[in-house]
Chain A
Amino acid sequence: MKTRITDLVQDCYDENINIGEYDEELAARIMGNVQNRLGVKNTPPRRVRKLPRAFLLAAVLVLAFGTVAFAIAEYTLSLRKPSADEELVSGFRYEEVVDGKVWNSEILTYPDAGMIFTFNCPEEIQYTPEFRCFWLPQEATEGITDEQGWTKRLFCDSGDTIPYSISTIDYIRDGLQLVISGDVSVVKEERLGDWELLEVTSDYSKLPYQTYDSANYLMLFDQSTGYLVLISGESDIETLEHIAHEMEIRESSSPRIEYTGGVPIGAIDLARG
């Protein structure tokens, strides 16, 4: 039989051999060609789309066992309720005096933690996400967007309430724990486009130092990148959902923020973390 050496060595691949160079114009032509064949003019950035409502399994498991794995892919976000004798510490300062007790020690404890979100990152996250909103219940009072509306933070303070706060969490690393205080419960978990959407609500009414009674939190987490966008506020959860459904998220060119604190714990409570 006759055979080609090129066919015989088809499995002899060495990934360290690099040939070819990046050519922006070539890449654009190839992209255009592929898009034409796919029948689209532009490939849009990932857009959060509403999908059929998913399961409430996480909520059920949290109630039953106090812990649940939220994602099972590369990057994971797990949530659990702290045990009664668990001491949590943070590098964040918080200055408050309640009943004569000073809460502004160098390392702040979190005896009031209601839910702990822990990140597992198989590899270091290099870049951070950014977002733009196509619908907001009212104009943001803080936050700068570029010409196309992309930003990493939008905050709205109406004077009496904080209707919403939207931000990217740019310091995620392996083992990082984020805390929400108060009596926290999972409202819903569902898939929203490429993102896992986790909705929780916290009742702060029993805590002496919060200026609001309750707040809602929507966490949009991407299992393939470890990116997290947090939407929180005193608005009802449907309003925050509306924001989530009408926003677009993509990878930004900003690198991850190095976390310099010794203990990888932080609070993400509305107007606190």
Chain B
Amino acid sequence: MNEKRLLHRLRRGDESVLPELIRQYSGYAYAIASNILSHALGEEDIEEVVSDSFLSIWENRENIETEMLKAYLAAVVRNKAKTALRRHHEEEPLGDDVLQISIPNQPEQKILLSELREIAHEAVDSLGEPDREIFQRYYFFYQKTEDISKALGLKDATVRAKLARGRKRLKDYLTERGFSCEDTHY
């Protein structure tokens, strides 16, 4: 069943849509959760996060504003997985994930983050293929470089090189718009 119809039935509170949602997207949701959590938590905890995500979607069905159900699910799983990590006092998995950004002035942080996300979106969109997909697989879906290389039929070193190129593009975009940034660690 397509996404639009699932969403329509979900919003109406049609109970029979839940098994359908889970059948269609549980593998996808589990993969995202596992990418984020497998270094720190076991399978049962990961499944718990996935179940939590579907439950959250069901309980908040009336407030879903997007028409992209799969994207919404991915965002919910990411957030739930990150919360689970914090609850277990564990770090997020990626080692090259953190940027130190110098802020030219001090607007409200929420507005600033929103602006940074827009710039990041532009930067990612400006990448050619397969660089864009690699960047998204790594930083959005938290896929490991060896998994990305398998999925796309590339060498692991190639994937790493393209990721480095993507990070540089992101930093360039931010710098051009008045933010200077450097790689760092939490």
Contacts and interface: CB of A to CB of B under 8 A. Distances in A.
Given A10-B117, A37-B51, A15 B140 contact: no
A73 interface: yes
A242 to B, nearest CB: 23
A29 B92 CA distance: 26
A29 B47 contact: yes
Nearest to A122: B4
Given A6-B97, A34-B58, A38-B55, A21 B15 contact: no
B120 A8 contact: yes
B30 A20 contact: yes
Contacts of B135: 9, 12
Majority secondary structure of chain B interface residues (helix, strand, loop or mixed)? helix
B170 A5 contact: yes
Given A1-B109, A13-B140, A46-B16, A34 B92 contact: no
Interface range on chain B (Cβ under 8 Å from partner): 35 or more
A5 B143 contact: no
Contacts, number: 164
Nearest to B36: A6
Given A5-B170, A30-B47, A224-B5, A12 B97 contact: no
A34 B143 contact: no
Contacts of A30: 22, 26, 30, 47, 50-51, 54
B76 to A, nearest CB: 12
B14 A43 contact: no
Interface residues of A, number: 42
Contacts of B142: 6
A83 B125 CA distance: 56
B101 A12 contact: no
A71 to B, nearest CB: 12
Interface string A204-240: 0000000000000000000011000000000000000
B42 interface: no
B100 A19 contact: no
A99 B186 CA distance: 93
Interface string A69-113: 000011000000000000000000000000000000000000000
Contacts of A14: 132-133, 136, 140
Given A10-B78, A27-B23, A4 B97 contact: yes
Interface string B92-117: 10100111110100000100110011
A261 interface: no
B27 A22 contact: yes
B103 A5 contact: no
A52 interface: no
Interface string B130-168: 001101110111110000000100000000000000010
A116 to B, nearest CB: 26
18 contacts: A1-B103, A2-B101, A3-B113, A5-B139, A5-B167, A6-B92, A6-B139, A7-B113, A10-B78, A14-B133, A20-B32, A30-B22, A33-B47, A33-B51, A34-B51, A38-B55, A194-B9, A224-B9
The 7 closest A-B pairs by CB, nearest first: A20-B31, A20-B27, A33-B51, A8-B120, A13-B71, A20-B28, A19-B31
Given A27-B26, A34-B18, 11 more contacts: A5-B99, A12-B121, A15-B70, A17-B136, A18-B28, A20-B30, A22-B26, A26-B47, A30-B30, A34-B54, A250-B16
Interface of B: 2, 4-5, 8-9, 12, 14-16, 18-19, 22-23, 26-32, 35, 47-48, 50-51, 54-55, 58, 68, 70-71, 74-75, 78, 92, 94, 97-101, 103, 109, 112-113, 116-117, 120-121, 124-125, 132-133, 135-137, 139-143, 151, 167, 170, 184, 186
